[in-house]
Structure 1
Amino acid sequence: MNTKLIAVLAASAAATALFVTGCSDDASTTSPTSTPGSAAPAPAAGKSTASVDGKEVAAKFDTTCAKQAGTLALALTDTANATYGSLSVSATVEGDTVQAVAIGGSQGGANGLPYAVGYGQGAPGGSAKLAKDGNTYRITGEGISADMTNPLAGPSTVKFDVTFACATIVGA
């Protein structure tokens, strides 16, 4: 997968966040519900969290969830994150299938560059699984990331574990 696709996935995260920003719920994260790669237990209701490569992303997330024509758009945003700047974590789900996951920050990558991890169904180099409990959705899997300071190094695989705790789902 090339760095263009990673950039597209990061842009998709921002677009998803903007699509649903008008109707968000505030939910803070304090700890991950489990580590990536473990069996997917039911998500913890009430807490939106994200972890990458087993490390919790420390953030105060606004959680936004919207459904339109069978597509569920999920977004976590923290516009003043100390590590990642404007941070967006998003996913698109159709039925029980995860279509895309994007984690992007305006900073936090190598040498202060933007940070991005992405997964797209059908694209090589990734996976995603969905577990749901009411209006809480947990997505675990692997996405692709790249060191933008050394594009010749190629992409790397990164594990993610994201819980979207939706107080309400707009359009549901």
Structure 2
Amino acid sequence: MNTKLIAALAASAAATALFVTGCSDSGTSSTPSSTGSAAPAPAAGKSTASVDGKEFTAKFDTICAKQGGVLALSLTDLANATYGNLSVSATVEGDAVQAVAIGGTQGGSNGLPYAVGYGNGQPGGSAKLAKDGNTFRITGEGVSADMTNPLAGPTTAKFDITFACTTIA
């Protein structure tokens, strides 16, 4: 997956997050995990996101909307101290995760944008969905790139995201 595709996926996720209207639920994530293992399961009703075992310190607004058989899930923090405009989103069709995008306007190498993406059928990633009522947990592996050295090629990053939806529009 090339860096242009990763950037496009992150931009698409951010646009989806801003375009989708529906439920909104504010939640604050906990302190970053100091271990390299997967993030602990979130408290009930909390939306959280972590990459490579490090949980984002963010105050997320959660948006959940369904049209036809496609569920759009989004977490946004438009004033994140580390990542600027931080967006975490996923699309789910049935029980299959179609796409995941994690992007920030800053926080990448040398102050550049931050992005991790997964697209169903694209090389270099995977995603699994677990549902509990209106709470959706997506775990897997996405693709990222160091934008300061695009010739280095993509790297992989593990993600663990919980979308705690109060309602689904």
Other structure's SS at 1:18 match: helix
SS class of match (1:61): strand
Aligned Cα root-mean-square deviation (Å): 2.1
How much does 1:147 deviate? 0.2
2:105 and 2:159 map into 1 onto residues whose CA distance is 18
**How far apart, CA to CA, are the structure 1 residues paired with 2:38 and 2:90?**
16
Asked if residue 83 in structure 1 is aligned to residue 82 in structure 2, the reply is: yes
Q: CA deviation at 1:21?
A: 4.7
Deviation of 1:117 after TM superposition, in Å, equals 0.2
Q: How does 1:1-172 map to 2 (within 5 A)?
A: 1-21=1-21, 23-30=23-30, 35-36=37-38, 44-170=43-169
Query: Structure 2 unaligned runs (5+)?
Result: none
Partners of 1:32 and 1:95 in 2: CA distance: 32
Farther off after superposition, 25-34 or 12-21: 25-34
* C-alpha distance in structure 2 between counterparts of 1:31 and 1:169, whole Å: 28
Deviations 1:122-151 (A, max 9, x none): 000000000010000000000000000000
Q: What is the CA distance between 1:36 and its match in structure 2?
A: 3.3
- How high is the TM-score relative to the length of structure 1? 0.91
Q: Gapped runs of 5+ residues in structure 1?
A: none
1:26-50, CA deviations, whole angstroms, 9 ceiling, x for partnerless residues?
A: 1221258995399xx7x75301000
| 3-state DSSP of counterpart to 1:167 | coil
Q: Would you say the 8 A contact 2:22–2:168 is kept in 1?
A: no
- Relative to the length of structure 2, the TM-score reads 0.92
In structure 2, how many angstroms separate the alpha carbons of the residues matched to 1:37 and 1:50?
A: 9
- Once residues 51 and 21 of structure 2 are traced to their aligned partners in structure 1, the CA distance between those partners, rounded to angstroms, is 23
Give the fraction of aligned pairs with identical amino acids, expressed as a percent: 80
